[in-house]
Amino acid sequence: MHELGILSAVVKTVEQIAADEQLTQIDKIVLQVGELSGVVPSYVKDCYPAAVYKTSLADTELELEVVPGIVRCKECGTEFNAVQHDLKCPNCGSADLDALSGREFMIKEIHAC
């Protein structure tokens, strides 16, 4: 599962930010995960306890904000949710698509108490 590796990188980044900003106690991390980012939100949730185990973030809460994977068909211009329509245009059936949103994977917020 590559989610664990990705989360370990997130943990390192958050620890770095916490050190830079002199945040002593982090409460919650908010991650933005796009449906087209290649990261599965439910796996991220499942992996989180393992990723933070024995780190300074062990007691933090993880919140995920899932960004819908919206694409535009290059053939007919229809905009639709790529996941709901299985990466095919519901209007013309083309699979030639431009991603408009949903590729995000970023740390959106770090809450310190």
Count of residues near Zn ion by CB under 5 A:
8
Candidates 9, 50, 58, 76; binder of Zn ion (CB under 5 A) is 76
Residues 64 and 106: their CA atoms lie apart, in Å, by: 10
| Smallest separation, CB 7 to Zn ion (Å) | 36
| 104, amino acid identity | E
The rounded Cα 1 to chain-centroid distance in angstroms is 15
- Region 80-99 residues binding Zn ion, contact defined as CB under 5 A: 89, 91-92, 94
Contact (Cβ atoms closer than 8 angstroms) between residue 56 and residue 15: yes
Q: Does 73 bind Zn ion (CB under 5 A)?
A: yes
Q: Does 42 bind Zn ion (CB under 5 A)?
A: no
Residues 61 and 56: their CA atoms lie apart, in Å, by: 12
- Given the rule CB under 5 A, which residues bind Zn ion? 73, 75-76, 78, 89, 91-92, 94
